[in-house]
Structure 1
Amino acid sequence: MAVIGAGLLTACDLDEFNPSTVSADIAYKDPAGFESLINYCYDGLYYFYGKIDGIGIMEMGTDLWISETKESGFTLYNSNMNTELGTLKVFWQGFYSTVNYCNTAIYYADQVEGYTEDEKNAKVAEAYFLRGWSNLQLVEQFGGVVLSTEPSSVAGVDNNPVRSTEADFYDLIISDLKFACEHLPISQGAERGRVSKKAAYGMLAKAYLQRTRLEESNASEYARLALEAAQELIDNQGQYGVALYQSDDNESGYTKLWDGLNNKDNSEFLFLEAVDHESSLNPDWSNRGRTRQYYLMDLKTVGAEWGTTEKYCAWYGRANDRGFKPTKYLLTEIFEPVEDPADTRFDDTFFTDYYNSRWSDYTISQELVDKYGKDASLVGHVIKNTVWTYDTDKSYYGVNASGNVNMVDEDEDGYLDGLSVFTPNYTIPAEEKALMPFLCVDPTDMFDASGRWVTSESSSMGTYYKEVYPSMKKFSSLYWISNNQRWQGDVPILRLGEVYLIAAEAALRYNNDQSLASTYVNAIRERSAIASRASEMDVADSQVTLDFILAERARELAGEQTRWIDLKRFGKLTDSYLAETNPDILTFDESKHIVRPIPQSFLDAIANPGEFGTNGY
């Protein structure tokens, strides 16, 4: 059972107790009423993971992604990044709402009747965890803003808030997460989305490590504590019920990590957004899994000229909200731009093959050959239809998806006969591309000489090629696709692979132990290749530097809503770094862009907006 519902109540809870019919003082003394309050503390995460409000603020404006149209305030740091930005308001209000629910639960915990002390602590520890996690998000995005520890129903409305320091935030975050580590249970049983000790230790390690960016005099001690918390999980995996997926001769462990059959009981997921796929009792019902459509290339115009469609490509997603696309740095420097790398993480992160999904064969015309500079011999070539209904053992729902039939190479040209569009991250000679019986767009077509994405001004084909690129694949396992817009899989917020990288980074920040750091890095890298190629992934101790780990985090975590705070911790939110890795960001103002604007709705609601400020915007 997932943690579910508007307020995250199970149907059983609703039958037993309805806290809305009595006062809070009475409702929260009853264990069922108190547990309903704890459930409300989870509500906010459903609006940040898999949704644009979280993706924009957590992943964009970095070295990995760009968009000229979607969330341009975050992607380009242009004038749309201001106090009126709507998604910024959602983030601010959502996390402060979570903090308030958690404060309420913590306040009433000692009044609950019928719990033993251990039962009470185990339950309220969920609120401590979620408050710590929420405050970590708030301080990293907005800096030292309002640190709240009392519920608004008790403290009343604060019309004259004051800023707390970032150190104050981290003091409370760490205290909350330590409480969670001590009191959360090892397991929450069948309730998939509830936090347990594994989540608490992972988040504590993350918080300790992130605090090192404050450059306090004891920063190395926080690195040591981060290493200690990470090692608690890594060294006791059986105790906490966690494990890295291991490679075999056919699949890498990383491939298994994202396999749909492993999604709902994943040994690497520590903290997750649990999606109720059976009854849709989520805060926004079945309206889940939008992540993939924000990162999707154009399947309905340029792709459609070669046989793809938005309507029937359930595997890839719906292209109506597309906009986020990878930078050249991500495609060709983070990932090795070769045809057959040992590292499977590029193929497990991106779609590069897009198949004919028209439900009928598609014939290449003279007009298409002329428009895209293809060889004349391709006129009349047939791209085979690949759409069919998936068997129930391959999909929980049974969906129409491309890539199921006619997946053959009968003409023996080295490519499947239903391939419509191909977007590799490595370069293919122009004369070879001209002979390919499908649209092939590689980095030489996607980017201009400066590393920026092509435009109609910078390339004769820029109008078309700027819409064609690898699309993020991580949240698109066919098993959990209910339609081309909704994906019903669970979404990891923190997983064991990241804890290994936290441990490696902490070892360097503590005492520059490259040997220990390489042990953790190589464990992650080896499981990213099939067993016979694992040794190709090993790196020497001397190679494991902080810059190497930052790149490794991109290979491991691209698209998982961690990158903005990663760059902040590494001191890479600078104009020079972003100009080098993401030149489409024309200007990064280091005097203000390392934090986000304070939402205008908050400033308008307080009596001292001038004193509080706008974070420089």
Structure 2
Amino acid sequence: MKAISTYLKASVFGLALLSTVSCKKALEEKPYSFYSPENSYNNQNDARAAINGVYNELYSWELFQQPFWNMTVLDDDHVSGADWYLGTTGAGNPQSYWGVDGPWVGCYAMIARANTVIENVPNITDIDPDVQKRIMGEAYFLRGWAYFQLVQLYGGVPIKLKALSANNPETNVPRATVKETYDVVISDFKSAETNLFPLGHAKAGEPGRVNQGVAKAFLAKTYLTMASGASTGNVTVRGGTDNGYYTYTKNVVAGLEGLDARAYYTLARDKAQEVIDSEKYSLTESWKELWSIAGRNNKEQMWELQSLAGTVFINNLHNYFSARSTFGVGAVWTTNNHYNDYDVLDERVLDGITHNYQTLQGTYIFYPSWQAAQYKVVGGITYNNTGSTTAERAYTIKYSSVADPSVANSDAFYPLLRYAEVYLMIAEAENEINGANANAYEALNKVRLRSFPLYTPAPPLPQTPIPVPEAYAPANMTPEQFRSFVLAERAREFNMEGIRRFDLMRWGIYLQVMNKIGTGQNNISKVRQAKNLLLPIPLNEINSNTALKGKNNPNW
């Protein structure tokens, strides 16, 4: 907690995120302590630097420098990798990972910093009222985002909505219920929605900042998470050792029992529709362009974690996830089973997976071996895998476009929200409310059509390019079939973006799906126990917060 009680820095992140903050101001260190806010919140520059301090925590070694994505991306049924890297969180052993406490510590650091902004920025008079309003919206959003992550990862958590001070010295706070924690998330996202400006507004803020559309989408996502967690029924998932289709009876997520799932699905659909109706966002036409440097901060990437080469705001996503890295090859890849869940015409696998690459040692490798006719000889180069199964690695392109791919730490951007998810939220919610109707299909196919080629039909049909038949989701699905298809579509669309694990959890099928695999590709264990449904609360918190009464999450 030392980062909370000493200083918040505008630092280089002010340069990476806020082009209007001067170099001198961005590098100043000021005492944004909750003990003496009068020294820190005097004018607009102070307010901007303080909100930068909240954003800064996203780029800490508690969150997205590694721990957060390590503990979410690596823990699902569609990821494999080197055993030296996936042997902890990737194998269901988070306590063996050095960053196990990261999500808890990082989220509460964000909450503490956001609390000081919320309490002190309203008192500033030397500030543009619109900027003041936006900063308040950002603080509410980031606090809500932190609680949203905490409740999904740990269940109900202690709620702290005031900065620690002489007037509020209490550090021993009991756990709230899951529902009470979600109520805080919803309240904060609503406050953010009210205060933030829409994308394109002159005062909406620079790339990397959240805006009104992002707040609306996360509010919809919160409703959707609660609704699916409270739902009953069956879900069919492709997987297991044979990549077959298995139907599971879902479990209601603990703490959401008795919730009116249909009502929350309605809230989710309607709020997501507001984002669509705003016409502020659009899907990127080209899958490759979406993940290029030129595609950063476009109208599909609603909220991305920013990076800047040559500063401290870099990460090792490229090194771990890309085909070529300083390790020789990357340490994380998509399983062969998941690769085979894409249609052969789907650009998310044609362009989204690296089929031909050269390792750091100079070896030319193609993937997959069963498509040798397509990938073994390309551009006059013969890619020879020498029959090695270690070459069966489907590396994503999502973190490959960086300024300098030869270094371990680079400027990969990380997607925190994409517009495609808004459409798929509508598809899921509409199906759960009214069945697989035209509205549900329209939203689902909106995402699918982007990733498939067009063709010109033969006469006498009009000679206008149209999507190939494979682009469309199967017609006449039942609600249960549609539900399962949307879940699979989300896996195809958001592969390696940290969404799959949360999807399996909110649908109450995580244990069933993982244990159906047992030992997965590259001998990575997918066996999970009931305790893996929640992460362990840090022992420091258990020991210092007497209101927790020494109790951790079950079986930790």
- Quote the offset at 1:144 in angstroms: 0.8
Q: Does 1:317 align with 2:310?
A: no
Q: Which residue of structure 2 lines up, in the alignment, with residue 182 of structure 1? A: 194
> Contact 1:142 / 1:615 at 8 angstroms: preserved in 2?
no
After superposition, residues 259-338 of structure 1 pair within 5 angstroms as 259-263=292-296, 265-277=297-309, 280-281=310-311, 284-285=312-313, 287-288=314-315, 290-296=316-322, 316-319=324-327, 322-332=330-340, 334-336=341-343
Structure 1 SS opposite 2:101 = helix
Q: 1:219 to 1:110 in 2, by over 3 A?
A: same
> Contact 2:491 / 2:500 at 8 angstroms: preserved in 1?
yes
Name the aligned partner's letter for residue 271 of structure 1. Answer: W
- Quote the offset at 1:586 in angstroms: 5.0
Q: Does 1:424 align with 2:368?
A: yes
Q: Which residue of structure 2 lines up, in the alignment, with residue 607 of structure 1? A: 546
Name the aligned partner's letter for residue 97 of structure 1. Answer: A
Q: 1:155 to 1:216 in 2, by over 3 A?
A: farther
Instruction: Give the distance between the partners of 2:293 and 2:99, measured in 1 at CA.
Output: 30
Structure 2 SS opposite 1:354 = strand
- Quote the offset at 1:197 in angstroms: 1.2
The partner residue of 2:175 within 163, 167, 184 is 163
> Contact 2:322 / 2:400 at 8 angstroms: preserved in 1?
no
Instruction: Give the distance between the partners of 1:426 and 1:135, measured in 2 at CA.
Output: 45
> Contact 2:63 / 2:102 at 8 angstroms: preserved in 1?
no
Q: Does 1:574 align with 2:511?
A: yes
Q: Which residue of structure 2 lines up, in the alignment, with residue 45 of structure 1? A: 58
After superposition, residues 362-373 of structure 1 pair within 5 angstroms as none
- Quote the offset at 1:189 in angstroms: 5.9
Q: Which residue of structure 2 lines up, in the alignment, with residue 346 of structure 1? A: 349
Q: 1:356 to 1:13 in 2, by over 3 A?
A: closer
Q: Which residue of structure 1 lines up, in the alignment, with residue 216 of structure 2? A: 201
Q: Which residue of structure 2 lines up, in the alignment, with residue 476 of structure 1? A: 400
- Quote the offset at 1:33 in angstroms: 1.4
Q: 1:158 to 1:76 in 2, by over 3 A?
A: farther
Percent of aligned pairs with the same amino acid: 23
Q: Which residue of structure 1 lines up, in the alignment, with residue 102 of structure 2? A: 90
Structure 2 SS opposite 1:86 = coil
Name the aligned partner's letter for residue 353 of structure 1. Answer: N
> Contact 1:527 / 1:534 at 8 angstroms: preserved in 2?
no
> Contact 1:515 / 1:541 at 8 angstroms: preserved in 2?
no
The partner residue of 2:537 within 595, 598, 613 is 598
Q: Mean alpha-carbon deviation: is it higher for 468-477 or for 491-500?
A: 468-477
The partner residue of 2:266 within 213, 218, 224 is 224
After superposition, residues 16-35 of structure 1 pair within 5 angstroms as 19-20=30-31, 23-35=36-48
Instruction: Give the distance between the partners of 2:514 and 2:143, measured in 1 at CA.
Output: 33
> Contact 1:423 / 1:469 at 8 angstroms: preserved in 2?
yes
Q: Which residue of structure 2 lines up, in the alignment, with residue 498 of structure 1? A: 421
Name the aligned partner's letter for residue 319 of structure 2. Answer: Q
> Contact 1:243 / 1:268 at 8 angstroms: preserved in 2?
yes
- Quote the offset at 1:356 in angstroms: 7.4
Q: Which residue of structure 1 lines up, in the alignment, with residue 358 of structure 2? A: 355
- Equivalenced residues, count: 487
Instruction: Give the distance between the partners of 1:158 and 1:269, measured in 2 at CA.
Output: 40
> Contact 1:318 / 1:485 at 8 angstroms: preserved in 2?
yes
Q: 1:7 to 1:40 in 2, by over 3 A?
A: farther
Q: Which residue of structure 2 lines up, in the alignment, with residue 558 of structure 1? A: 495
Q: Does 1:5 align with 2:31?
A: no
Instruction: Give the distance between the partners of 1:92 and 1:291, measured in 2 at CA.
Output: 21
Q: Does 1:542 align with 2:476?
A: yes
Q: Which residue of structure 1 lines up, in the alignment, with residue 232 of structure 2? A: none
* CA offsets 1:9-31 (integer angstroms, 9 cap, x no match): 66517449864399422421422
Q: Which residue of structure 2 lines up, in the alignment, with residue 523 of structure 1? A: 446
Instruction: Give the distance between the partners of 1:542 and 1:154, measured in 2 at CA.
Output: 63
Name the aligned partner's letter for residue 333 of structure 2. Answer: K
- Quote the offset at 1:234 in angstroms: 1.4
- Quote the offset at 1:598 in angstroms: 1.0
- Quote the offset at 1:147 in angstroms: 1.6
Structure 1 SS opposite 2:496 = coil
> Contact 1:268 / 1:495 at 8 angstroms: preserved in 2?
yes
Q: Which residue of structure 2 lines up, in the alignment, with residue 304 of structure 1? A: none
Name the aligned partner's letter for residue 325 of structure 1. Answer: W
The partner residue of 1:59 within 73, 80, 97 is 73
Instruction: Give the distance between the partners of 1:425 and 1:220, measured in 2 at CA.
Output: 46
Instruction: Give the distance between the partners of 1:190 and 1:348, measured in 2 at CA.
Output: 33
Instruction: Give the distance between the partners of 1:190 and 1:137, measured in 2 at CA.
Output: 24
- Quote the offset at 1:505 in angstroms: 1.1
Instruction: Give the distance between the partners of 2:518 and 2:273, measured in 1 at CA.
Output: 32
> Contact 2:354 / 2:396 at 8 angstroms: preserved in 1?
yes
Structure 1 SS opposite 2:77 = coil
- Quote the offset at 1:321 in angstroms: 8.5
* CA offsets 1:177-233 (integer angstroms, 9 cap, x no match): 111112201235672111111211111111111111135432211111111111111
Name the aligned partner's letter for residue 507 of structure 1. Answer: E
Name the aligned partner's letter for residue 616 of structure 1. Answer: N
- Quote the offset at 1:465 in angstroms: 2.5
The structure number with the bigger radius of gyration is: 1
> Contact 2:542 / 2:550 at 8 angstroms: preserved in 1?
no
Give TM-score scaled by structure 1 length.
Answer: 0.72
Q: 1:425 to 1:546 in 2, by over 3 A?
A: farther
Instruction: Give the distance between the partners of 2:130 and 2:359, measured in 1 at CA.
Output: 58
Q: Which residue of structure 1 lines up, in the alignment, with residue 155 of structure 2? A: 143
- Quote the offset at 1:509 in angstroms: 2.5
> Contact 1:186 / 1:197 at 8 angstroms: preserved in 2?
yes
Structure 2 SS opposite 1:110 = helix
Q: 1:157 to 1:589 in 2, by over 3 A?
A: farther
Structure 1 SS opposite 2:99 = helix
Give TM-score scaled by structure 2 length.
Answer: 0.79
Q: 1:154 to 1:193 in 2, by over 3 A?
A: farther
Q: Which residue of structure 2 lines up, in the alignment, with residue 153 of structure 1? A: 165
Unaligned segments of structure 1, at least 5 residues: 247-252, 298-315, 363-418, 446-463
> Contact 1:517 / 1:541 at 8 angstroms: preserved in 2?
no
Name the aligned partner's letter for residue 613 of structure 1. Answer: N
Instruction: Give the distance between the partners of 1:487 and 1:128, measured in 2 at CA.
Output: 30
Q: Which residue of structure 2 lines up, in the alignment, with residue 440 of structure 1? A: 385
- Quote the offset at 1:439 in angstroms: 2.4
The partner residue of 1:74 within 75, 78, 89 is 89
